[in-house]
Structure 1
Amino acid sequence: MTAASSTPSGATAGSATPPHERARPLAKGSVYPAKDLCSQCGLCDSRWVAYVRRACAFLSQNFEAMEATAHGRSRRLDDEDELYFGVQQRMLSARLQQPIAGAQWTGIVSRIGVRALETGLVDAVLCVGQSPDDRFTPVPVLARTPEQVLAARVNKPTLSPNLEVLEQLPGSGIQRLLAIGVGCQIQALRAVQSTLPLEQLYVLGLPCVDNVSREGLQTFLESASRSPETVVHYEFMQDFRIHFRHSDGSEETVPFFGLDTPKLKDVFAPSCLSCFDYTNAGADLVVGYMGASFGRQWITVRNPRGQVLLDLVEPELDTAPVTSRGDRRAAVQQGIDAYDKALKLPRWLAELVGFLVQRVGPQGLEYGRFSIDSHFTRNALWLRRHHPEMAERHIPAFARRIVERYRLPSP
């Protein structure tokens, strides 16, 4: 992208001063425009709050226009892979040949950030560190050194105001930026991209569902883990188990089907319960795990900038084609009904179900579709029940096509 023009889109007629130069962040503690649906992405905590009405994913979203602007075209809805996973040039699975110590998986995201700085591709990397007082309290940073990028490794599964650091860009000397973020953050970032004082922006996206507030995270950890105070990170993985890593290096796994659904049903943030950007449609490159076999990461290149980012690390990767096995549909329909009724299985039965599903259930891309179907149907139902006035205009066309394949309970 090019630097902002003197009168970027959004400036008032007859004014040479764009809105973000006249605006000021909302005061901390304010009621943000999206109200209960706010994902706390941080845009309102910067002077770019002036664009929030068209930038916020929960006030106004237009996936087709965002994809066309970012990638040169929108996704093809008649292509099953693009319907689910978005615009793409390549999909592959990978792992670092030499994993980064302490990284959540092998550390592909962190290695890309490090290489982007070392090669001079960018001047800074927008990533998320942690509070010195709490490992799960996110602290967004504009990392200028590889050491700062590595210090931010490991996901923080809590709402994070990443875009508040846009406030630091003017006068910083940063001309080329790599932004790492989740879907709601990237939708807002794309909406204001043309007004940023940057020569080039690269976007590395993370697939994302079911973030929580810090209080909600504590409820989840106390409900699911044997030692919530020592959890370093966790992830819902392709073997249908939640993997917790503890500070002593030990790992704990819990079957999805053993969660205390009645207690946890409403612990996730309303923004996440109304989101349909699981696969981060606006990112140049997406790195996650949802479409890969267990132990590997799933990578989607959406455009040439995404390939530039992947080129930084591809020689260091063990790569393989994506694969797909199984049929998700019956499991998704059963999950819809079980979640709606807030069923809780006894631990022995949850272990048995998990054992069977792991061996005969969906794997690879089919697991990714299972996860997308499960969350899209749940979120569509949640929206229709809690925000019926906005539900249909908020659910994008690709999500509607997916949701219509299933039988949902009455709103």
Structure 2
Amino acid sequence: MSNSQIISTRQRIINAAAELFSAQGITETTTKAVAQLAKVNEVTLFRHFGNKHGLLLAVISESPVFQELGEYLKTQATQTTSVYQALKNYCEDRLEAFEQAPNLVRSVVGEAGNYPLENRQALGRSLKEANHYVAEFLATVMEREQLYAHLPPQKLASLLNIMLLGYAVIEFTSEFHELWHDKDEFLENLVTLFLMGATNSTSLVSSELVKIEKIIDLPSNTVHLILQRAKKSGLRDYALIYILFAAGLSTAEITNLQRTHQICNANQHLLQIVVGSIRQVPVNQWIMGKRYGSYTNNPLTKYLNNRKDEHSALFLNNDGMPISQTQIQEYWQKLTQGLLTPEGQQPTTKQAQHTWCVEMLIKGMNLEDMSLITGFDLHELQPYARRAKEKSALEQARKLDNKS
């Protein structure tokens, strides 16, 4: 038998074992079943691997998770992405690899005590080798970003991989644990915690780890009062405040809007954002439990229908020229004069955006979809998600109190 045939037979056995281990776990998989699937006899299997535990070791140590890890990380280390994004990419890929074989992960964790000592030692060596690749990767990207680590790369790699394995074990062995909202939230928190705890935070400020401001949304009664004041002030002011609360745009995005950037019909009202994060944003009919017109008949459409000018800008100032960010702030200051937030401060335009984002999350929008319509990355959205959970918890407490 040629060497190529031996390799082919060995690989067929490994592939068959990996398929069965992943589908039904290790205990439920017999060497006879593996041999049948690989189209060999059991004697051949034993000759190559000794026993089922030896076969398991080969499945794990020779899987792409280990075999391709070194080259994969070398490629990742040469990319120009920040250390934050590089780490996130690595963690995401490792979790996806675990998710391909949940039954195998469960079996390895639950049955490891049954393996012979030599198999456990060999498995440990495979994990150590994989950890070495990760340590080299961390050392490379951190040197490139000029980050000082409080621990050596080998220790950092060990901690990171242990946390990833811990996630997989919890996900595959328990349900309704509520330790994290979803995988994206876990990844964002893991990488942020890992970098902030393991490195000098000064350098991280200049990376993609965005310094997030505190999310302070506005109470519904304050929102409706501001809108009422805007309505009394005039069609333009009403439309402007309406867009702040109905679409969650920044003042910079509003100043760049043109009339042609509207997509408006009986089924939807959208705005096309053409600066910064290019995207479409919905204009909501409902704001904090109250409806403000329809898609075709709302404060913005009424303002535009009443205009007699030929300007293409969506909003004009008091002189009939395209509105500026400073002027938006001035109008806002006038309309919110004398109002105070629960923190004792005058409301800001930024809080209108905060309020819209939190409300959309409370209504059920997931973070990935929210990222698409806001232009924020998932890391930036985490404080909004936390605030939405806080408000949902408060509402739950109120309902429970009413049942008393």
Pair in the same fold by TM > 0.5 = no
- Ranked by relative contact order (alpha carbons within 8 Å, sequence separation 6 or more), the top structure is 1
Higher helix share: 2
Larger Cα Rg: Structure 1 or Structure 2?
Answer: 2
Higher strand share: 1
TM-score when normalising by structure 1: 0.23
